[in-house]
Structure 1
Amino acid sequence: MESTVTELKFALDTFYFLISGVLVMWMAAGFAMLESGLVRSKNTTEILTKNIVLFAIACIMFLLVGYNIMYVDNASAGWLPSFGTLIGTQAEGADHSLESDFFFQVVFVATAMSVVSGAVAERMKLFAFLAFAVVFTAVIYPLEGYWTWGGGFLSEAGFSDFAGSGIVHMAGAAAALAGVLLLGARRGKFGKNGSVNPIPGSNMPLATLGTLILWMGWFGFNGGSQLLISDAENATAVGLVFVNTNAAAAAGLVGALIVSKLKWGKADLTMILNGALAGLVAITADPASPSPLFASLIGLVAGVIVVYSITSFDALKIDDPVGALSVHGVCGIFGLLVVPLSNDGASFGAQLYGAAVIFGFVFVASWIVWSIIKVTMGIRVTAEEEETGMDLIDCGVEAYPEFSK
């Protein structure tokens, strides 16, 4: 009887892991729709190409080396992993199958890389981006993942990040920031007199659909990170994670709506969408500890922060077409730093330390990789190519050909 119960729990937890991974995989569609809606029509096919190809690259590289770097045969509390290939072997007495763990983890890698895609949109060479994706998903992300979820030195220091506000989202933003600084702004984004010229996206219905898909996928992102569901305690915790995730997103949306109305007298849809995503990113650091009311407050503040962050990056002449640096970077850091307010096991010092190490490492490593790509194959298209649009230059296929006649 005991053996049957153990096997049933194993099967249920494995199935939950797999279904959660499927939900997170669906977030790839969300990023593709969101980003394609927020770029100009002449760059739509290229942004879609980037999103689906980066997902494939992440799956291949994490299978070949990334998972091994992050989780297999590493020293506890260490910093240098034991480099190897593939995903190792099933541990005796595990709660779920090794393959389900890999599948759940690999879609997180793709999520981190998707953050980079939107920030460098409309002026980066496609194959330069894909070359960076290979290195990021194979080495950079897995290494900082080992330091945290893999039982490395940041985990030993008490750093806490339930589902990846820092490990996934802030890391993606750090890589994106390095690329954006080396790449420069889109032509016409900033005037010589210091003005900021808005470059509207081409398809708000798609951007809204993408946000809703991401919102849905986030239940797998955060809910699956509980890891288990086969007993009353874990099942109850999963329920709270779902409620808090949803509450933070809703409150973040409302926060951005209020600020945009007060600031510009308009309900700016792009800010509203980013407000929902800001709430989701912020609560991801710990959706299991706060009450739903406190989770709502975290989301609300994140929704306010993201609006001012986006305008601040513009003021600094840092061009981010989709607001990824603000949503995933600034609000990722915010999410990490508020964890101790509801989780007694976390400390502000450990959270700040972990955030600084992850951001610093990923930014410097990414800067080096981007720089190598820049001097070898180049990272930016020519002014003429940018004017024509990336669809024709990189892909040869327009997303909306009937409108270009």
Structure 2
Amino acid sequence: MLNLKSHKIWMGAAVTAAVMTATPAMAEVSAETSYVFNTFSFLINGALVMWMAAGFAMLEAGLVRTKNTATICLKNIVLYSIAGIMYYLIGYSLMYTDVSGFIGSLGGIFYNPSEAELALLNADEATAELVAPVVEGGYSVASDWFFQMVFVATTASIVSGTLAERIKFWPFIIFIVVLTGFIYPIQGSWTWGGGWLAEMGFSDFAGSTIVHSVGGWAALAGAIVLGARKGKYNKDGQVLPLPGANLPLATLGTFILWMGWFGFNGGSVLALGDAASATWMAIVFTNTNLAAAGGVVAATLLTQALYKKIDLTMALNGALAGLVSITAGPDLTNHFLSIVIGAIGGALVVFTIPLLDKLKIDDVVGAISVHLFAGIWGTLAVAIFGGGDLIVQLTGIVAIGIYSFVVSLVLFVILKMVMGVRCSEEDEMLGLDKAELGLEAYPEFGSGSQKFGA
């Protein structure tokens, strides 16, 4: 069950296998050995991407005020769970099953192991006749689903940070159900499912646009419908800082995301069963790390030059922007270009966060700048540095952007009309932890009987 996303890597694997066969000193890796390593790659890299959910939770918990910390943690664990269930029930099928150009079919809902795998597992003995049809696909069916699913959760995590501190819990969760079950899988089918953008030659290796920009567009739509937090902007349009409560926690979250990104990009090689795939993965890991470093350095130097002070939050977002920027094309064989791509992503954050504030678009954690703007840049960088077609890349960016933004905007407007999406002014002042959860993340800092467990 090979999907289009893995096509070029498997072609490389075939070339490597041919070389091995032709060289007396080298032995060709067996199909079963290749199957084992490919499956292991999906699982271990998928686990790294799953760990990014913790990174998003810690980053966002550090950048919100203490009165909203428990709520943002709850949203992150629930959205991850919703993403997994929706992708199992319907999302994977819409993205990869019988894609007709714009959408897959519902014939593969309740995604489960293949008949060949079940036959092997239920047999008393693993005979060659039972093993052959299983390893023929190249990797375990469940490992592929797991790796694809954690990408969906990443898209959902992007939205939660932007809309923090003023969106109500249940409308947010309803939006996540639609985002992970329908919005993300449908546009994902256009490229990774072999749809119309894939036929045009649109290239997005691990999802600068397909994952990150989609989350950024959804976050932008939500921020427009919700409006800014109370006290964020005065009547003259001046920005009034509402600083996060725990910058060490935000820094930890950034490092967790950085680590998880090795699985995000490295695992997108989608194979580890031959020398070519292993070499590609090493290159992708290296480029991913260099791009993040370039983003940090660029954001640090720019904030020093522009504001005469170094902004830690800008440096953190610079790292993430560098990671997003390289995600569309981390297979560059010139590592220095990765530093350049990441540095430009980091610079974009420094300029676009103030731009959004001028437009009175309140993004609590800077996710729109990191994931939308850097995602667009990274997708264009494929054409600029990787030899892709610029018009095709632009077509994919615009098509996915219009679709994601418009559908998200319509959904948020419907939710606003039907049940309301924004908490009351009183709840916002009190904090969503008390208003919606009835508890606090840091009760020892509370008042009265809450202090020291009294």
**Under TM normalisation by the shorter chain, which class is it?**
over 0.9
Q: Contact conserved, 2:94 with 2:103, CA < 8 A, in 1?
A: no
Contact 1:290/1:342 (CA < 8 Å) preserved in 2? no
- Aligned residue type for 1:235: A
Q: Which amino acid aligns with 1:402?
A: E
Q: Give the structure 1 partner of residue 420 of structure 2.
A: 378
How far the C-alpha of 1:342 sits from its partner, in A, is 2.7
Q: Does 1:47 align with 2:72?
A: yes
Out of 156, 160, 176, the residue aligned to residue 219 of structure 2 is: 176
The amino acid across from 1:334 in the alignment is W
Shift of residue 341 of structure 1? Answer: 2.5
Q: Does 1:364 align with 2:406?
A: yes
Counterparts of 1:226-375 in structure 2, within 5 Å, are 226-344=269-387, 346-375=388-417
Matched, 1:31 2:56: yes
Q: What is the root-mean-square deviation in Å for CA atoms of aligned residues?
A: 1.4
1:294-348 CA-to-partner distances (Å, cap 9, x unmatched) read 100111111111110101001111000100000000000000001022322x210
Task: Give, in angstroms, the shift of residue 74 of structure 1.
Answer: 2.1
User: 8 Å contact 1:72–1:87 — kept in the other structure?
Assistant: no
Q: Secondary structure of 1:161's partner?
A: coil
Counting matched residue pairs gives 402
Identity, in percent, stands at 53
How far is the alpha carbon of 1:137 from its aligned partner?
A: 0.4
2:216 equivalent to 1:193: no
Measured in 1, the distance between the counterparts of 2:217 and 2:269 equals: 26
Cα distance in 2, alignment partners of residues 82 and 3 from structure 1: 38
Structure-1 residue corresponding to 2:255: 212
Which AA in structure 1 matches 2:201?
A: G
1:133 aligns to 2:176 (yes or no): yes
- 2:113, 2:142 within 8 Å by CA — same for their partners in 1? no
Q: Partner residue of 2:105?
A: 82
Other-structure match for 1:396:
438
Give the corresponding residue for 1:387. Answer: 429
Unaligned runs of 5+ in 2: 1-20, 22-26, 117-132, 448-454
Q: Is the 8 A contact 2:41 2:267 kept in 1?
A: yes
1:72 maps onto 2:97 in alignment: yes
Q: What is the identity, as a one-letter code, of the residue corresponding to 2:338?
A: A
Question: What residue is the counterpart of 2:203 in the other structure?
Answer: 160
TM-score normalised by L of structure 2: 0.87
Counterparts of 1:36 and 1:225, CA distance in 2: 28
Contact 2:164 2:364 survives alignment (8 Å):
yes
Report the CA distance between 1:219 and its aligned residue.
0.1
Task: Measure the CA separation in 2 of the matches of 1:158 and 1:117.
Answer: 32
Task: Give me the whole-angstrom Cα distance separating, in 1, the residues matched to 2:334 and 2:148.
Answer: 27
Greater CA drift, 83-92 or 350-359: 83-92
Deviation by residue 1:11-64 (Cα, 9 ceiling, x = unmatched)? 110011100000000000000000000000000000000000000000000000
Going from structure 1 to structure 2, the CA distance change for 1:232 and 1:127 (only over 3 Å counts) comes to: same
Deviates more, 1:1-10 or 1:200-209: 1-10
Q: Residues of 2 paired with 1:21 and 1:142: CA distance?
A: 18
- Measure the CA separation in 2 of the matches of 1:371 and 1:192: 25
Maintained 8 Å contact 1:68/1:88: no
What's the CA shift for 1:4? 7.9
Alpha-carbon shift at residue 290 of structure 1 (Å): 4.6
Could you tell me which amino acid in structure 2 is paired with residue 388 of structure 1? Answer: L
Give the superposition deviation at 1:72. Answer: 1.3
* In 1, Cα distance between equivalents of 2:35 and 2:161: 38
Off by >3 Å, runs of 4+ in structure 1: 1-4, 88-92
More off after superposition, 216-225 vs 78-87: 78-87
Distance across 2 between alignment mates of 1:330 and 1:64: 31
5+ residue gaps, structure 1, are none
